[in-house]
Amino acid sequence: MTGETTPERAPSGRRPGLPARETPARVVGPALDDRAVLALARRVVDLAADKKASDIVLIGVAELTTLADYLVICSGGSERQLGAIADGIVEGLKDDGFPPIGREGLPGAHWVLLDFGAVIVHVFAPPERDYYQLEKLWSDAPTLLRVQ
């Protein structure tokens, strides 16, 4: 690397001039029993449907993993719709007192993951959903609800 210079980095390791990265707070909503967690998962399904998500699936994974109790998988037809679905779910659950623990991916990445602790949400563009086949991966878990 002759003749090249690298910009100085701030103590945080970030290049100067870049905005600080927002990290979600590790906020956990109120303690929930099994029935309330299922109600939360169904609320996610309703919020996704409100934003016109397609092929919404609610899968019960509590017997197979400690990662979550439920997965909600849905699709959106465009990058803009993926963002609207994810934002609608986040805002709706925040209003209910359940902010996300984490959010990964951007609509441009064709896959957004929302972590609400006991409920994990995957919002896919159809080609990525077909490629990753999460329903097949979790085929031993019961499908509790499917909304076309």
Written as tens digits, the pLDDT of the chain (148 aa) is: 444 444 444 443 434 443 443 432 233 456 678 899 999 999 999 999 999 999 999 999 999 999 999 999 999 999 999 999 999 999 999 999 999 999 999 767 899 999 999 999 999 999 999 999 999 999 999 999 999 8
Rounded-to-integer distance, Cα 107 and Cα 75, Å: 11
List domains and CATH numbers for the chain.
53-147 (3.30.460.10)
Distance CA 76, CA 55 (A): 9
Closest CA relative to residue 46, chosen from 89, 83, 79: 89
Residue type, 134: L
Closest CA relative to residue 56, chosen from 38, 36, 76: 76
